[in-house]
Structure 1
């Protein structure tokens, strides 16, 4: 069975790095200043209760501790990161560790930011509470009862980083100013979208839909807790550019042949079914 946990190490510049079990870059040292800036935006005081998702390289966690919050809860699902977290938390009595994944409460929408705000603002944040996090590109985080601010932050990304192609990151800050439960849905008609919207996001506050979403979240969480099995993660192997292009062309040719076969099959009438010009397939 293949290892499915993260691993800590150093990159070609001898800087610390967090890798997935498949060898993908998860977190790098260049993110420290950016994560600290996100923490600063929260305005943490000694009376604050802080919830943090993911421990990683401890950049945000350590900076949060510099503000001495009343409580600091960290949710972490990776076994290797949990070991590091437990060692780190031994000298920090206000830290509470929750082993598990918060993604079990998420629906499959276009952006996990919307899912995250649905879950936190409705059921985990008091009025006056603030939410921030990693954001590479600007998306519409607006919703009733909230004030949203976006602050650009210049980042120095090294050439060996494979997951962040930008020179600027964003520091989002969502503040709950009034309790107005709402959930994110998606517009089926273009007319329902906001003008110049980059995605089909629609925020609705219908109480029955909010209640239904909460029930689905709880059901999904219980189902995930009952299913402890997880498929093995296949490691990523590096391939020379020439071989990669050759494999890519072969895959494209194979896909084209399948399309040609499908087109020829369209001419064969199906028993008991007559093709009409208005047939639709929704997938």
Structure 2
């Protein structure tokens, strides 16, 4: 983890800590809106926007600490940090009928989601009202914020190999890419390809499938389990923070290592005890820790 440039290191951890979870929130926001779960739509939308903005901030010299879930404050920080390169106003898609669109600013959308996606919405304490263009505007905002999960002044080709269409931008800052390639996504999004009809054709089927506690009839339990529900070898994933800790244990503590760890601890909210453990390791000497 320490044999790459510091920008590469930052990019990997910003992706794992913020962009990848935000992609999941965004996917869930789209799904819950399609199912009429409106409180959950606003909560997932807020989570996605929060994480995309935080990723852009920490990759451009700012800290993601101190904002909580307040995406209005985050949006203001995004505009200050990115300046002329910040996400701008969105426009009605050509494919969308004008009856489905309201001409409002991005600030209005962020403020609305900030209110209706407040953590209290999870307990039914927040009123909400939907607009016909909520989802379509969220799509565009996510597209624009996600493009900016990169260091604006980082040079194309310096920290990792690039392919088309970026070959012509080699040596130029990513700010230029954002300006000149409005359809370019900085990072590919991994969208699950799991069939939606595994549990049945309706949400009611999804609820009752393999649910012995709330069984409608035996047919609910006769469907084969997909591996996502039950498998002999369960799914697992180590957090990148854990992997970083393991790598740090076996690494000589050099100024370059210290710079990477200090950037992470200063930029991201991490449990106090974990921060202490990381800093203790940084001050424990240059020799790797052995078992």
TM-score normalised by the shorter chain: which range applies? under 0.3
Larger radius of gyration: 1
Between Structure 1 and Structure 2, the one with more helix by share is 2
Between Structure 1 and Structure 2, the one with more strand by share is 1
